[in-house]
Structures are given as structure tokens and as C-alpha cells.
Amino acid sequence: MGASIGPAIVIFALATPAFADGVLPFDGIFGNQAGCHLYATGKMLDDTYLLLTPDTFSSAEIGCDFGALLASADASFVIDAVCSPGGKSTVRVSDLGAEGLTFSVDDRPGIVSGLLACPPTAPLGAHA
């Protein structure tokens, strides 16, 4: 991934105070252990982080900024996004219940799965 956009998307996600009006119709942050740690502390454990907010997805390989919800059915969502690398893309997020959320970009092979809800925490930079 281009090293410049991923951290920029993470910083944007960390600085966004409210997610209730996000593109995805849920509250909360989802990720793996490294992604949840990054969201909670602003410190990267390693480059395995996966972080999904209602408006963004971030990993070491790709970062996406969601523009609009195009469709939803049951627990699956299709989103218009701008990703780096890749530019304008269509992404899919599906809720598999106890198995967590999945994330995929139409023009890329592979699906990120097992994104679980991060423990509640104030985002970096928020004041209590």
C-alpha cells in the first residue's frame, strides 16, 4: 500500500468524534487486536492492524474512505468508497454474527474476516 494514505485514514478515523451519522448504519469500531489497540491508544503494535469504522477501513495494505451506502440487505452492505491504492471502489461489509464482520473490495482478491467489536473507549484526542 502507499504508505501515506493508510496512516492518514487511521488518523482521520481516530479524530472523528461521533460515528452515529456514519455511512455504515451501526455504531462502534471493529477490528482485530492490533486495530482496536491502534484506535484506543494511537499506537501501532505492528502492521497487522485491521480497523473498520462506520466511515473508513484501514490496514497496512489498503485504506478506504466511505462515500455513500449504495445498498443493504439483511446484514450485508455495499458502499461507494475511495481506496488507496485503487481509487474509486465498491466495498462490501457483511455481519456474520458471532464470527464478526467481513470486508472486501470488489476489484481485489480476498476478504478480511473476523473483525470484532472493539472494547468501548474514547477515541484518541477526545476529551471526557
> Residue 104 corresponds to which cell in the numbers above?
472486501
Domain that includes residue 41, residue range: 5-117
Question: Could you say which DSSP state residue 90 is in?
Answer: E
Residue 124 lies in a domain: no
Longest dimension (CA), the chain: 41
pLDDT per residue over 11-49, tens digit each? 444 444 434 478 998 889 999 999 999 999 999 999 999
Q: How many distinct structural domains can be found in the chain? A: 1
Please state the φ and ψ torsions of residue 7, each to the nearest 5 degrees: -60, -35
Question: Could you say which DSSP state residue 67 is in?
Answer: E
Residue 62 lies in a domain: yes
pLDDT per residue over 66-98, tens digit each? 999 999 998 999 999 999 998 999 999 999 989
Residue 75 lies in a domain: yes
Residue 122 lies in a domain: no
